Structure formats: C-alpha cells, structure tokens
Amino acid sequence: MAKYGMLIDAGRCTGCGACRIACQMQWQLPPEIAYNRLEHREKGTYPKVKWEITPVQCQHCDNPPCLHVCPTGATYKRSDGIVLIDHKKCIGCKYCMVACPYGARTLDHEKMVPEKCRFCADYVVQGQQPPCVSTCMNEVRVFGDLEDPNSKINKLLATGSVYQLLPERGTQPRIYYVKR
C-alpha cells in the first residue's frame, strides 16, 4: 500500500499562485476559499533582506490533531496516509480547525463545514498528480509514494537536507521542505 507525501522546495517558488488557482479550479472553489496558501516572510536585516515564500497546506500528518479532536469521526486517515473529512458525519463544530497547528483548514460558508487539502486522493489513486504539483512551472512540489524506494520523492529526500513544519508538535507531517 502506498503512503503518500510531498516535498516542497520553497526556494524555487516565485509566488505566482498557480498552485492555489489550479487547486481552486480542480475543486471549483470560490476565490475566497483555498486549500493551500503562500506565506510571505521578510528575512534578514537591512541591507541584506530577503523575501521568502513558503507554500503551506494540510500536512496529512501521521499523528493528526484534527482527527483526535473530532467528536463524530468525520476527520479520518486512510491507510495511504491521506487525511480526509466525511461531510456526512461532520457537524460543523470546527474543533479540527482550532486543533490544526498549520492553519490548514478553511470554512465552507455554504455548507458550514471545514474543508482542506485532500492531496487529490481520487486522482492520485488513478496515477495522476495533484494539480498543485502538475501546474507549477518551477517544479516546487514533488508528490509521491514514501514507501517506494524508487519514487522521485524518496530519491530527493535521500539526497538533500529537509525539515518539517512545527516538529515540536509531534504531528509527524507527510510534507517535507528543502532546507536552504
């Protein structure tokens, strides 16, 4: 069974937003709803100031706090590691939104239920790449099977120095970032 993950090389990101737009188009989201975002930070001191962009989305954690606080079991983790929401079980309490240390959940104002990145689960099992990956002109994101030693993501993880967001939270995210 595959275990999916993503590697993000934020140093390659130009901030064009194609990943966000591709995701919004894929899921027919209104402009104010996005499952991924670009965080912009100023680093350094004058005159050596640098602008850093970090793509952030649901981290599809191995130990997801959103799952542990859900009173109805609407948030669940598949055997391939993808964390999803069963909208039929969701009561809209928003506990999952509060529990997520990455701020990765957004509220669908029509249905009044939380939404998030789905790693495009339905497309991935058919061998397709998530649109945020395939649309990026700078190849910022690499998606693949963390269990397959021959997968592109595993080869890249083995060659470079990587980190995960908020390791002190113990969530064990499945999204890795290239250290710069």
Per-residue pLDDT tens digits for 119-157:
999 988 898 999 999 999 999 999 999 999 999 999 999
- Kindly state the average pLDDT of the residues 58-65: 97
Kindly report the backbone phi and psi dihedral angles of residue 142, in degrees, each rounded to the nearest multiple of 5, phi listed first.
-125, 125
What letter would DSSP give residue 130?
P
Contact between residue 135 and residue 18 where contact means Cβ atoms under 8 Å apart: yes
Question: Any residues with CB less than 8 A from the CB of 28 and at least 6 apart, and which?
Answer: none
Q: For residue 1, what pLDDT band results from cuts at 50, 70 and 90?
A: confident
The HSE-up count of residue 37 (CA atoms within 13 Å, CB side) is 14
Least confident of 19-23, 29-33, 108-112, 152-156: 108-112
pLDDT of residue 119: 96
- Kindly state the average pLDDT of the residues 69-98: 96
Residue-range domains of the chain with CATH: 4-178 (3.30.70.20)
pTM assigned to the model: 0.92
Question: Any residues with CB less than 8 A from the CB of 8 and at least 6 apart, and which?
Answer: 54, 55, 140, 141, 175, 176, 177, 178
- Kindly state the average pLDDT of the residues 146-172: 93
Tell me: cis bond preceding 30? Omega within 30 of 0 counts: no
pLDDT of residue 114: 95
Q: For residue 108, what pLDDT band results from cuts at 50, 70 and 90?
A: confident
